[in-house]
Amino acid sequence: MSFEIRPLSDALGAEVIGIDLTQPIDDAAFTVLHKAHLNYQVLVFREQQLTPQQQIDFSVRFGPLDKHPSQGKAHLEGYPDILVVSTKTENGKDVGIRNAGPAWHSDLAYMEQPALGSMLYALELPDSGGNTGFANMYAACEALPKDLREAVEKRRALFCSTRNKELKALHPILRTHPETGRKSIFVNPQLTHRINDMADDESDALLAEIYDHCRKPNFIYWHRWQPGDLTFWDNRCVLHIADHKRLDDPNYIRHMHRTTIAGDTPF
Ligand SMILES: [Fe+2]
């Protein structure tokens, strides 16, 4: 099995060219892909033509799947493991999650065990817009100014779901990747509520400083989707955001299938 892995930016990300994910992936190829995923943090598999079951079969090579809390309402019919991320409506109702990821976040950060990673497969794309930003939280952590690092180093933050207030969890602000051993910044502006055991105003000011730091352009890669892209990010060391400037435009159709790989407890 031969394929090529090409870096996409200085920040993170690589594209995988010449692999057909409808075919079985042998162990040698899987090892190369797994290492590349840990190394580049985001992989983009180009020109795929996947059925929902084929996307599931490839996803479970990386671990058991996690059900998104919204999946009860937004899963693909007959495939509870696939979350539909879509701007489409049918009979006046959204067919999936319409405005997914409007701010920088990592998936399921409000769960005790946030996702290892997510795979997003592009089925229909708008003529422009709908890009996804990915930010390298290893690099952001390594470049943290000393005073900021000392202020958050041993602290934890409270994360809350924006859709279900019952879902909340405490996690370290700087987490250690369970496979690479590298430290990354884990807080994010969409799901982090506040820093634990800190006055609200102090917590707000500190988080704002960290977010400004994390959003520096040298940490970020903007993915411009191509039809057939399957993008797989490492949710443990990457923040992401969807850029939906035209969500109210009826010609703006962005329709995707997502699988979510279960993760472990951050430490
Ligand atoms: Fe997301």
Domain ranges of the chain: 4-135+221-261, 137-214
Cα 163 to ligand 1 centroid, rounded to whole Å? 13
Catalytic annotation, pick one of 240, 244, 254, 257: 240
| Partners of 121 in the β-ladder | 230, 257
258 is catalytic: yes
Query: Given this model, what pLDDT does residue 226 score?
Result: 97
107 is catalytic: yes
Write down the CATH number for the domain with range 4-135+221-261: 3.60.130.10
Q: How many CB atoms lie within 10 A of CB 264?
A: 12
Query: Given this model, what pLDDT does residue 23 score?
Result: 95
Q: Are 177 and 237 in contact (CB under 8 A)?
A: yes
CA-CA distance, 39 to 177, in Å (whole number)?
12
Cα 1 to ligand 1 centroid, rounded to whole Å? 31
CA-CA distance, 175 to 153, in Å (whole number)?
9
Query: Given this model, what pLDDT does residue 165 score?
Result: 86
Query: Given this model, what pLDDT does residue 224 score?
Result: 98
Nearest to 119 by CA among 26, 36, 234: 234
Single-letter residue type at 117: G
Residue 139 has φ and ψ, to the nearest 5°, of -65, -40
Nearest to 247 by CA among 105, 106, 126, 134: 126
List per-residue pLDDT tens for the chain, 267 residues long: 789 999 999 999 999 999 999 999 999 999 999 999 999 999 999 999 999 999 999 999 999 999 777 767 799 999 999 999 999 999 989 999 998 889 999 999 999 999 999 999 999 999 999 999 999 999 999 999 999 999 999 999 999 998 888 999 999 999 999 999 999 999 999 999 999 999 999 999 999 999 999 999 999 999 999 999 999 999 999 999 999 999 989 899 999 999 999 999 999
Query: Given this model, what pLDDT does residue 71 score?
Result: 65
